[in-house]
Structure 1
Amino acid sequence: MLLRLLLLAVLGGVALTLAPGVAQAQPEESTASEQVSGTLQTNLSGPIEGVEVVVTDDGGDEVDTVETDENGRWVVPLPGPGQYTVTIDEEGLPEGVVLTGENTRTVTVDAGRNQGVIIALSDGSTGAGGGTVRWVQLFVEGLRFGLLIAMAAVGLSLIFGTTGLTNFAHGELVTIGAIAAWFINVQGGVPLIPAALIAMVIGAGVGALNELAIWRPLRRRGTGLIAALVISIGLSMLLRYLYQIIFGGRSEAYADYRGQRAVDYGLFRMTDADLASIVIALAVLVLVAVMLQRTKIGKAMRAVADNRDLAASSGINVNRVILVVWMMGGALAALGGVLLGLSDEVQWDMGFRLLLLMFAGVTLGGLGTAYGALVGSIVVGVFVQMSTLVVPNDIKYVGGLLLLIVILIVRPQGILGSRVRVG
C-alpha cells in the first residue's frame, strides 16, 4: 500500500504540474483499452505522413481508416480483443519508397493491449539482399540494444549477488523510469534530459523503497529465496497493472526527438537519438565499472556479492551496501527505460517484455557478476538483432533465449561466472 501511494503521489503530482498549452500541442489519443498502432518511416525519407491505414476485424468488417501524422505515427482504437488485419495503401507512399513484403499484417490483440504493427519499407538505403551494409546495420542496432539491456541488467545482477534474490519485479523499475520521464517531459513541459535525470532519482527512490519496505523485513524474518521469488512475481504484477491504471494501455513518444531522420555514417545509418543512447549507455557503464573497481562502496559491493558473511565479519555494513545496490540498480534501470522509450516508445509493460532478455544477459554472463551482465547483455542484444538475417523480425527475441540455452549447455557458469561459488 505504501508503494502504491508513493507511485500515485509521484506520477500524479507530475501530471498536475501540466504546463498550459502543452497538452493541446499533443495529438489526441483514444482511451480505448485495445489498440493497434505503428510508425511509417525510412532512413532517407524519415517519417511518412498522409499514408492511409485500414484496420479490419476477423470477419472482414472495417474497424477504422486513419492517416499517418507528421511523425509517421498512426493509432486505431479497437472494439475489443481479437484478430485484426492492418492494410497499408501502397499508392500513398512517397516516390522511391516501396514495401519489402505484403501490405497487410494480421495481428492478435490481447485484452488491454496496444499492439504495435511493423510494416517493413525500403528506400534503397540499406542494400537489399542482406549484404555487408545490412549486417553492419544490424550489428550497430544490436550493440545499442545490448547496451540498453546491460543498463538494467547490471543492477539485476548486483541485487542477485548481494542478496541472492531473483527479482522478477526488476522490469518494473525500467518501466517507471520511462513513464516518469514521459509525464515530466510531455505533460510537465520539461526537456527530456533533465526529465531523465529526475526519472533516475525516482527510480533510485523506488529501489530504496523496495529494499526498506519489503526485502529487508523479509530477510530479517528468514524468508527463503523461493518464497522471495514468488513475492517478486506478485510485486511485478501489482506494479505492472498499477502502471496501466496510471499511464493507460497506449503507446506514447517523448515530446523531444520525434521523427528524426537517420544520418548516413557510411556502412550504417543511425538517428542522433540512437547515437546519443549508445554514447550515454557506454559512459554510464564505464562509470559503474570504475566505481566498482576504485571506490570504497564499489569494493564493498563486490565483497558482499562474493561472500556476505565474510564481508560482515570484516566490518562492512552489509545492509547499507544492499541499500546502495538497490538504489543504483533502480537508477540504472530507470535510465535504461528512458533510452529504450526513445526508440520503442513508452508502454506500460515495456520493462516486463525486456525482463527475459535481462535474465538471459545476466545468466549468460555469469550470475552475480556486474561485468558478466554487461558482456552477456551485449552478446544477447547483438545476437537478437542479427538473427533477423535468417528469422522473421517478430520472433527475434526467441534467438536470445536459444543462445542462452546453448551457452549454458557448454558452460553452465556463464561467460565470466565462477565454476565453484564459495559461501
Structure 2
Amino acid sequence: MHPNDPSLRSFIDVSPDSDFPIQNLPYGVFSTESTLSRRVCVAIGDFVLDLHALQSAGLIGPADVFSEPTINAFMALGPKIWSATRARISELLRHNNPVLRDDASLRARALFARSEARLHLPIRVSGFTDFYSSRDHATNVGTMFRDKENALSPNWLHIPIGYNGRASTVVVSGTKIRRPLGQTKRPFDSTPSHGPCLRLDFELEIGTVIGQPSAMGTTLSEQQAEAMIFGFVLLNDWSARDIQQWEYVPLGPFQAKAFATSVGPWVVTREALEPFRVHGPTQSPEPLPYLHQTGANNYDIALDVTLRGSEMQVPANICSTNFKQMYWSPIQQLVHHASSGCAMEVGDLLGSGTISGPGPKERGSMLELSWNGTDPIKLAPSVERSFLNDGDSLTIWGHCSGACYKIGFGGVEGTIVPSM
C-alpha cells in the first residue's frame, strides 16, 4: 500500500485531529534530557520516532544519516531514497506489522513522547531567498503606498519577485524574537534616527526546502525543479516596517528583514502533500516559456494565524487563508531562481512571500490587517493592535484536509522581547 493511502492505520493511537497521522510522517530533529545529541526523527501522533534508533537496529538504511544534527545529509541522498525511506517507516508503523509494535525494547529506544522531546532547526540553511508571490498581498501593499490603479509594479505579472535574505538568522519555532534596532526617518523629521523598531510585523509564509543541488551555469525545467524539492515548512519572515520604509530605496529590504525568520520544526515532504496539489490562479499574461508550467503546482493548505497579546490569556485568530491562492508557485520560484545560472544547494530555503487572500480576514500581515495602522484589529474587548508589542506571541498554523485525516505542519511560534 502507498504511504498516502487514507485507509492506513498505525499501531500508535493517533487522534483524527492530529497533524501527524501515518500518512504524514514529517521530518524533524530532536534531543531529550537523557540524550542531548541531536538526531533525525519523524512525527507520528503525539510521539517522535527516532530514525537513528531504527537504523541502528538494521530496520532502515541505506546509511546512517539519521545521527546527524540536521536532515541535510538525508536530503542529499535524493528522491528515490526519500520515497523508499518514507515507505519503509510507514510499513514499520502500521497497525498489523509486529516488527516495531511487538518489540518493547526497541520501542523504548525509538519512541518518545513529543512533550519530552526538544525540537531543533531541522535543516542547515544554505541560503534563504524570500519571494513576493501573492497577488492579493502585492495589490494591498501597492494600493497603500502607491494607488489602486498602479498597485502592481510593471514586472510583477511577468516575474517571481524575490530578494536574498539571511540564512544566519533563520531560527526554529519557539525562539524568542528580539525587537530589532534600526535607522528610520519619520515624514516630519529632517534627519533619520536610530532606535527600536516601532512597527514590528509578521509575514505568513510557506518555506520550500531544497533537497538536491543544481550546478552553477545550468538552468532547470519544471520537472527538474519538482524533483529537487524535498518538502515544505511553515515560515514567518518577521518584518520591521518602519525600518524597511526608509531603507528599501533603491535596493529593497535589508536590516528590516535580516534580524529573524522563524520556521516550524517539521518538514512535511512533497510526497505527503501530493494528494493536495491544485492548479493556482490563471496567470495572465501568460508567463515566458521558461516559467510555463503544465502541472498542478500549488497546494491546498489551510493557514491560520493566532495572536496572544501580552495582556491576554487566550490567543485570538487574526487570519485564515489558503496557500492555493499564490500566483507564483514554488516550482516557478525555483525555476526562476536558477534561470540566471544561479547554483542551488541542499538546504536552500525559499520563502513564498506573504500569503494573503481577497478577504479582509485573509491578510497575512499586520500591515494589511490594520491597513498600515489606520484600522487597528481588535483582539479582545479592550485589546487592539496595529503592529506587534513586546510580549506578544504569534503562531502560524497550517494543514491539509484529507479523507478522515489531515496533513499538518504543527505550528511556528515566536514571542517578541524588548530590544537591547
User: In proportion to residue count, which structure has more strand?
Assistant: 2
Name the TM-score class by shorter chain. under 0.3
Q: TM-score, normalised by structure 2?
A: 0.21
User: In proportion to residue count, which structure has more helix?
Assistant: 1
